[in-house]
Structure 1
Amino acid sequence: MRPLFHPDTEAITLQGVLHALSDPARLAIVRALRESPDLSCSKAAPVPEMAKSTLSNHFRILREAGLLCSRREGTQYANCLRLDDLDARFPGLLDAILNAAEPSDS
C-alpha cells in the first residue's frame, strides 16, 4: 500500500488551506477533528450516509492542503489536525476561520 501524501510545513499554502476549507463538508470535518483529535474518517464524517468515495475525496483534499495528518490503524485511518504546522505558517488562521464559520443555532 502506498504511503499517503502529507506536504512539508513549508509547502502548505494559504490558497490550498482556504480552498480546502471553502467546502462546508470539509469545514465540518475540520471542526469535528478540532473537538476530538484522532477520529476515523467515518466518525469525522459530516453526515453518516455520505458515500465513502466522497468522504475519501474530502479527506484527501484536507490532507494534501496540509490541514490534517492521516495514519493507518488496522483497517481504518486515524486523523488529526496539523495545528502546530498551520500555526507556524499562518498564526491564528484556523481559529479565525472556525470562529467566523461557527454553525448558527437558529
Structure 2
Amino acid sequence: MEHYPNVRPQSNRNRTLRHTFPAEVSLQAALVALGDPVRRRIVRELAEAPDWTRPCGTFAHLPVAKSTLSHHFAVLRDAGLLEQRDEGSRRLNRLRRDEFDSRFPGLLSLVLEEPRDDTR
C-alpha cells in the first residue's frame, strides 16, 4: 500500500452522533452528568446562548484537555442534556432544556441558579 504524506486521514465526523432522549435517562445518570463542575459550566454557558450558536471549539477556555472536553460533551449528550449537530467543520450544541425539564422538573434550574465559580 502506498503512503501519501500530504493527504489528511479521513475524519470520524461522518459517524452518526447518538443522542439519548431525556425520557430514557435515569435520575442517577442525570445526577452523574451534572455532578462534574466542568459539565455544569458547559450547561450554564449553553443556557445563556441561543440554540445552535455555540460550537464545541468555543469551550476551549475551560481548564481541561480537548479530549476531556469531548468526553464531557458525550456524557451530557448521553444524559439527554445536550443535542449536537455537525455543520461543516463545526459541531454545534443545543441545551435540551424543555425536554430535560419535563423529565426532571427543577433539576436544571438548580444548576443554572448555582453561584458561578469561574476558577474551574
Pick the TM interval, shorter chain: 0.7 to 0.9
The answer (yes or no) to whether the contact 2:76–2:82 under 8 Å persists in 1 is yes
User: Does residue 1:98 correspond to 2:112, yes or no?
Assistant: yes
Select the structure that is richer in helix. 1
Unaligned runs of 5+ in 2: 1-13
User: Does residue 1:17 correspond to 2:33, yes or no?
Assistant: no
Q: Structure 1 residue 45: deviation in Å?
A: 4.3
Instruction: Mark the structure with the bigger radius of gyration.
Output: 2
The answer (yes or no) to whether the contact 2:22–2:99 under 8 Å persists in 1 is yes
Aligned-pair RMSD on alpha carbons?
A: 1.8
Partners of 1:104 and 1:26 lie apart in 2 by 13
User: Does residue 1:42 correspond to 2:57, yes or no?
Assistant: yes
Partners of 1:4 and 1:68 lie apart in 2 by 11
Q: Given the alignment, which residue of 1, 15, 25 partners 1:2?
A: 15
2:73 maps to a residue whose letter is F
Scaled by the length of structure 2, what TM-score is found?
0.76
User: Does residue 1:74 correspond to 2:98, yes or no?
Assistant: no
Q: Given the alignment, which residue of 99, 103, 107 partners 1:85?
A: 99
Scaled by the length of structure 1, what TM-score is found?
0.86
Give matches, 1:46-65, under 5 Å: 47=62, 50-65=64-79
Unaligned runs of 5+ in 1: none
Pick closer, same or farther for the CA change 1:46–1:63 going to 2, 3 Å. Answer: farther
The answer (yes or no) to whether the contact 1:29–1:45 under 8 Å persists in 2 is no
Pick closer, same or farther for the CA change 1:71–1:104 going to 2, 3 Å. Answer: closer
Report Cα offsets for 1:18-62 as digits up to 9, x if no partner: 101111111110010001132111213452x63221110010000
